[in-house]
Amino acid sequence: MKRKYFGTDGIRGRVGEPTISPDFVVKLGWAAGRVLGGTGAGTVLIGKDTRISGYMFESALEAGLVAAGVDIRLLGPMPTPGVAYLTRTFRAAAGIVITASHNPYDDNGIKFFSAAGDKLPDAVEFAVEAEIDRPLVTVPAAELGKVKRVDDAAGRYIEFCKSSFPQALSLKGLKIVIDCAHGATYNIAPYVFEELGAQVVTIGAAPDGLNINREVGSTKPETLAARVLEEQAALGIAFDGDGDRLMMVDAGGAVIDGDALIYIIAKSRLAAGCLHGPVVGTLMSNLGLELALRRLDVAFDRTNVGDRYIMEHLKVSDGVLGGEPSGHIICRDRTSTGDGIVAALQVLAALTEQGCTLAEAAAEVEHYPQVLVNVRLERRMDPTTLPAVQAAVQGAEAELAGQGRVLLRPSGTEPVVRVMVEGMDPQQVQGIAEQLAETVRAEIGA
């Protein structure tokens, strides 16, 4: 079955468009309340990032959920993984996050977590979609839901993050630059690292509703790199707008992506005897990660792009670690979803235990040349089904002659088609990626 409203990670789009409008979100809240509110305590938590439209959609969700007879706990600005954690600890029926993650401020979206703090399975999303298409019927007035605010939500999540760092270790003497992307980690991350002993310099921590992810954060690590060099810091950590992914920067200003960070954590877990099952990546994971793990005799599996698919595979294979090059990293032995702060702490614990720098640890992963080109779509479609595009892909694969990979896929979070080419020769990879992108543009009339 094809989803009508949900993408790979909730519902997302431009504010004011049909599925990201106040009237739709009221209906979405009501539908979610009908499907999710009948389990557990019948309470749903709502958190949000720092977008100006978050206030509007918080109110809309509130109205829909209350109309379905569901009680609500408002968390305020809270990283996505923080909502997942608090959903579990409150024994709530579900958690909802109002966020468009790494997208600009004029996008927004709604993500859901189950009572266990997991992304919703397909069957539940289909059930919510079915309710959306039914008439909204409000419960009797005596059965309407009630709303309360959780005043200590940030403090609870800060303590949880700190608990994921080994008690015997400290960050004392380590100077770190933290980039909060003017997003949901702005009032969380600096305290976590400071309270563990680090000297913290914070940037991207002055949200105004409009500046989330603007020239800062994990999608713009150059800003962090410049500040790390200026401060002569040991390293830098950049989060995205909702705090479920990260990038790091070493003392020399080099950006360390999710693949290298996954390797560092995997090597540490292996040395401690607590790495079991395969490490799980995606179709976008660099071949260099796979080969580096092979040298450690660690299995590596690939899934479709999206942290929900990584988590599903980890559960089936009894794995504890997986993630994406973008910095979505799941430490399943610590938490139930991708968590930028927790993943960063696992990297710092590994560096502390091994007595090495970030640059030294990351050097063990040799990245193969990989080029990613985004081709913007003006309407919802899948250009990979077009005969000319399929022929171009086959030609590209023949040119690589088994020494690389080609991947075209529509994004589940943005109106773009991602064209990825990986191989041995940087110039060849760049040329093939640009040629494929031009073919896609020509076929869609862009």
Q: Between β-strands 11-14 and 107-113, what pairing exists: parallel, antiparallel or unpaired?
A: antiparallel
Exposure string (b/e) for 350-385, b if CB count within 10 Å is 16 or more? bbbeeeeebeebbeebebbbbbebebebeeeeebee
Instruction: Tell me the HSE value of 397 on the side-chain side, using a 13 A CA sphere.
Output: 10
First to last CA, the chain: 29
- Residue showing tokens 């303590």: 159
**Catalytic status, residue 411:** no
CA distance 81 to 248: 19
Structure tokens at 335: 């938490």
CB 323 within 8 A of CB 308: no
Q: Which is nearest to 155 in space by CA: 87, 101, 209, 75?
A: 75
What type of residue sits at position 292? A
CA distance 99 to 79: 9
Residue 443 has a CB neighbour count (10 Å cut-off) of 15
Structure tokens at 247: 């990038």
Q: For 38-43, which contacts have Cβ atoms below 8 Å and span 24 or more sequence positions?
A: 38/93, 39/93, 39/115, 40/91, 40/92, 40/93, 40/115, 41/71, 41/90, 41/91, 41/92, 41/93, 42/69, 42/70, 42/71, 42/93, 43/70, 43/71, 43/72, 43/73, 43/90, 43/92, 43/93
CB 83 within 8 A of CB 47: yes
Q: At what angle do helices 54-67 and 22-36 cross, to 10 degrees?
A: 40
CB 340 within 8 A of CB 185: yes
**From the candidates 21, 53, 59, 101, which is the catalytic residue?**
101
φ/ψ (deg, to 5) at 237 = -130, 125
CA distance 338 to 322: 9
- Annotated catalytic sites, by residue? 101
